A and B are shown apart, each in its own frame.
Chain A
Amino acid sequence: MDYIVKRTAFAIVTVFVAITLNFVLFRLLPGNAVSGLRCQHCTKQFRESIVKQYGLDKPKLQQYVIYVERLAHGDLGTSIADNRPVWDDIRTPLVNTLPMIVVGTVISIIIGIISGVVAAWRRGTAADSANLWTALAFYAMPTQWIALLVIFYIAIPLGLPASGIESNTLGILSTPSTWAVFSDRVSHLFLPALTLGVGLYGEYSLVVRSSMLETLGEDYVLTARAKGMRNWTIVWKHALRNAMLPLVTLIALSLGSIVAGAIVVEDVFSYPGIGLATIDAISKRDYPVLQGIFLILTMSVIVANYIADLVYFKLDPRVTE
């Protein structure tokens, strides 16, 4: 219990640090709501009224207090580009991205674990070195390039959709069934998720392989064999859970790069998720929206790390503090 309390407190502190950094970061960026192309031909009075409207004339500290206060009320601010609440602007992209990231991560974990375990079990064989090089290659490849490979070698031959989130033709002639909508979504989600997963699995595979090798050399594995257990049962019942421990940490640590990968992947696949929304907001200098997106992303990484801590606690009884 001590452990959980500590982790929770730690997560809350991190959230506050993230909020503060998020505030500072956007005040450090050059330009503001009235600079640049956006307001090239505005009158002086108009600029001043806009600055006032966003409260940019107030001292920074006061701005910070207002920002935190509004956050506490669930108010992420108003978009400069379309004057809608930020939350309304980023909710749909977020809902689109989440399943894609989850499926992508699950794909990477599954491929990573299976290939890592097989490589460890067949250590020194051709299968092992083949896996090593494949994993390293995918780990080193830029995600956008993997995306192109996926489009070229999978999307085209299989006729899978490689852009957007739903077919244009769906629902033109008749109201589609829930199942049709669902499978259409899944088929659009699959390739971006696969790209993300393939880009991530290499690292996981190598870590699983090495921690698996270490675990297989442990005395309790020999004991399990002496008990008469068969090889794969030993891997499944004794080695895997211990070998998973470093992977949990690694996944939690790589959540940031998962999000970064998602932005690139969404760009290539024109997938209307949080990545595209980010790129869009950057090009429009829509700082409130960007700030909102950053906040949501940081929060999700913190929450995921918190969950990883709890998973670790569950997996390893030795963790108590």
Chain B
Amino acid sequence: MTTETVEAPRSARVSRRSTNWEKWAWLYMRGSGVLLIVLIFGHLFTNLIADEGGVKAVDFAFVAGKWASPFWQIWDTLMLWLALIHGSNGMRTIVNDYVSNSTLRRIMLVALLASSIVLIVLGTLVIYTFDPCPSGALQSQLPSFCPAQ
């Protein structure tokens, strides 16, 4: 009877040097979630509750009045970026869970990424290129600080 010596496995240890993106995505959902609670509850309060007319007070002049202050511009920019990335990452999780066809899954993930980039760029441009007093508009639809045309 011979004793067999089993060599220690010589396979290299799997490198864990690469960034753990799933961990950062997981952390992002929690961090952005906390910030979004403050941002969105503040947004709902100012736009649906604080003003006497609630949502009926919201129009072009109402938003122009808010965006006259950098405070609300930054508020809305943060909300846009944090919420859309939070939402599309959540949708990514759901797609990964339920779409078993790998081609379809890839198409849906690319569509999610593309639509998120387009909407973040669009929304950011809208906030920072906004003109509160566009020419050719009815005076009654403009904020009160616009000069008479």
Do A and B interact? no
B residues in contact (CB < 8 Å) with A: none
A residues in contact (CB < 8 Å) with B: none
